[in-house]
Structure 1
Amino acid sequence: MGSQWINLTDYTVTQQVLFFADAIFWAVTYLLVIYYARKYKFFGIPVEAAVANIAWELMFSFFFTTELGDLFVWGIRLWLFTDVVMIYFHFKYGAKQVRVPLIKQFFHLASIIGFVFWCWIIYGFATEYGDPIGAGTGYILNIIMSTLFIFLFLAHPEQKALNFPIAFWKGFGTVFVGIGIYLGDTPSPFVIAVASITFMLDLFYMGLTLNREKVIAFIKKNKQDEQISETVLQG
């Protein structure tokens, strides 16, 4: 394995630059989520995906280590410091995303159970199939997160904590790893497929955030049409 800090034996300089760019973009994403959560009193990541994401970072900080080099191992561990703040805002404002009364009532417990379950799933997947840099499990979580971002925005289009800056940094940060793996000697068809679909979902989410007023107007019009239809049927 090349350098202790950066593995240039199994990965090229270009790949390492892409992986490093991914880490920077995700770090900015986390800082933006924290900033907008404080500003708008709304947690800007789908809560279902947030617990999975934190579980991934915990598992790849201490139970598994990426083979990219110690720089990335410690980089993931440093993310845990931002996770502490993220967890705080998750528990403080995350329940606002939930519309099912029973789940909302037990939101904290559901979050903890979800975190434990995702740790178990990630451990099982990485142990059975292998996940040398965490890309396999990472992209499974990312495609779920990108899908949930769209549904969350459509449910709360007025929430400004769901915005283009977060969508941009998250979307392009995620795609860098897919490109890096594609450029490798043995590219993973699974990771490339999931990375491509995830990026398409992220682009769609970016488009939604850039057209917030049109989305709100469309949703309002649909609700009005539904009310008119119900009135006609009842009459």
Structure 2
Amino acid sequence: MNQPLINFEDYSIAGLIFNGVGCLFWVVAYVILVIEIRKKKFVEMPAYVAGANLGWEFVWSWIYHPNTGLLFALSYQAAFLLDCFIFYSVLRYGTKQPMNPETKKHFALFCVINFGFWIIFSYLFRNEGFDTLIGANSGYIINVILSLQCVFLLMQTKDTGQFSMVLAWSRMLGTGLISVSMFFFYPENHFVQFLGISCFILDNTFIYILWKRHGKLFGALSKA
């Protein structure tokens, strides 16, 4: 990667700060998710979107790189490495999420096919000029699916003790701050701005539902 540590030439300082802190919150969210998986043997990442997340991160970590700078590229790669464990855990524990018996029979195969599909999708989306130079368009398509599926998964799961309020806040802040940076980076890209606002609404809906069922807005460490 022959690029500066941070690309101040093409991006505003304010946008870079919002984006960088948002990326950091996402790495924190992944670390929390890994800890929760090891503790609970349950994956809060919706099983049907885990392959999409990993596929996008593979493309933007190893085939393309965000032109925001080396520090941002490294955060993408850190997220990918953490997501490898998360995806492995989805294959191992994903059938604990609500799904019918027929789906469980073919669950692992579906996850692998889904992973492959999103690698091809993310690569072609960028290669044929539909994406930004940091993968924002394709990333937000996946993020909307993730945020929506998180709400569905929460509503379908009886035991809310399986979910971390700290993770929910980290995910919301990560996506929310990156969404703010989209208004600085791409003031005319109303598509990605709309998706960012949609994610913010869905992520806060998740927090609200979890709070109503958990009884704690910020989450006690014992239930984090």
Q: Distance in 2 between matches of 1:209 and 1:185?
A: 33
TM-score norm. by structure 1 comes to: 0.85
Identical-pair percentage:
28
Q: How big is the alpha-carbon RMSD for the aligned residues of Structure 1 and Structure 2?
A: 1.6
Q: Distance in 1 between matches of 2:188 and 2:6?
A: 20
Q: Distance in 2 between matches of 1:177 and 1:185?
A: 12
CA contact (8 A) 2:98 2:157 kept: no
CA contact (8 A) 1:26 1:169 kept: yes
Q: CA-to-partner distance for each residue in 1:108-134, whole Å, 9 max, x for gaps? A: 111100100111111222222132111
Q: In structure 1, give the amino acid aligned to 2:106.
A: F
Give the number of equivalent residue pairs.
212
CA contact (8 A) 1:25 1:169 kept: yes
Partner residue of 2:218? none
Partner residue of 2:134? 133
Partner residue of 1:221? none
Q: Distance in 2 between matches of 1:120 and 1:81?
A: 19
Structure with bigger gyration radius: 1
Q: Which runs of 5 or more structure 1 residues have no equivalent in the other structure? A: 215-235
Secondary structure at 2:200 match in 1:
helix
More displaced 10-residue stretch of structure 1: 185-194 or 132-141: 185-194
Q: CA-to-partner distance for each residue in 1:125-180, whole Å, 9 max, x for gaps? A: 22221321111111101110110011100111314232321111101100112111
More displaced 10-residue stretch of structure 1: 183-192 or 133-142: 183-192
Q: Distance in 2 between matches of 1:74 and 1:97?
A: 31
- Cα–Cα, structure 1 residues 87 and 213, in superposed 2: closer, same or farther, change >3 Å? closer
Q: Distance in 2 between matches of 1:94 and 1:10?
A: 41
Q: In structure 2, give the amino acid aligned to 1:37.
A: I
Secondary structure at 1:130 match in 2:
coil
Q: Distance in 2 between matches of 1:168 and 1:30?
A: 12
Q: In structure 1, give the amino acid aligned to 2:74.
A: W
Partner residue of 1:100? 100
- Cα–Cα, structure 1 residues 213 and 21, in superposed 2: closer, same or farther, change >3 Å? closer
TM-superposed CA distance for 1:35, in Å, is: 1.3
CA contact (8 A) 1:40 1:160 kept: no
- Cα–Cα, structure 1 residues 185 and 114, in superposed 2: closer, same or farther, change >3 Å? closer
Partner residue of 1:49? 49
- Cα–Cα, structure 1 residues 157 and 164, in superposed 2: closer, same or farther, change >3 Å? farther
TM-superposed CA distance for 1:101, in Å, is: 1.4
Q: Distance in 1 between matches of 2:182 and 2:208?
A: 26
Partner residue of 1:77? 77
TM-superposed CA distance for 1:207, in Å, is: 0.4
Partner residue of 2:168? 167
Which of structure 1's runs of 4+ aligned residues deviate more than 3 A?
Answer: 184-187
CA contact (8 A) 2:5 2:71 kept: yes
Q: Distance in 2 between matches of 1:213 and 1:57?
A: 32
TM-superposed CA distance for 1:44, in Å, is: 0.8
Q: Distance in 2 between matches of 1:50 and 1:130?
A: 21
TM-superposed CA distance for 1:63, in Å, is: 1.7
Q: Distance in 1 between matches of 2:86 and 2:186?
A: 36
TM-superposed CA distance for 1:212, in Å, is: 1.2
